[in-house]
Amino acid sequence: MNFEVSIRPDEGYYCGGTFLFYFQVSPTYPHEAPKVKCKTKVYHPNIDLEGNVCLNILREDWKPLLNINTVIYGLYHLFTEPNYEDPVNHDAAAVLRDTPKMYESNVRRATYGGYVGQTYFQRCI
């Protein structure tokens, strides 16, 4: 089973943006976590530029008790509380940790369509 989910945070750095995620659910679900990729290029410590998502419940903390709604809530939470302590985008994590105001500026530039460093982001807000 494959499907897409849009996440639209209503608070935090990413408020007002729309972020598309692609889910692949294997036949062994719920014993295996779904595979999730972000289809929207985003400046985020927990999502790299290829769309790989670092969310503990998609890896070591997955349990068959969890479900798709739990994953969607976890993704939403990444946008309201980005976590620089468990990054896949180490540059974004360092900026968030060391200079939150610059991180906020970079997120704004990326979500409104523009460059952060050498990387171009399409508008998603």
What pLDDT, on a 0 to 100 scale, did the predictor assign at position 27?
96
pLDDT band at 57 (very low <50, low <70, confident <90, very high): very high
Quick one: what percent of the chain has pLDDT higher than 70? 100
Q: Give the integer Cα–Cα distance in Å for 58 and 34.
A: 7
pLDDT at 121: 98
Banded model confidence at residue 71, pLDDT cuts 50, 70, 90: very high
pTM across the whole model? 0.95
pLDDT level of residue 34 (50, 70, 90 thresholds): very high
Mean pLDDT of 29-54: 98
Sort 57 into a burial class: Cβ within 10 Å, 0-12 / 13-18 / 19+.
Answer: middle
Confidence of residue 113 (pLDDT cuts 50, 70, 90): very high
Domains assigned to the chain: 2-121 (3.10.110.10)
pLDDT at 15: 97
Catalytic machinery residues:
54
Work out the average pLDDT over 61-82. 97
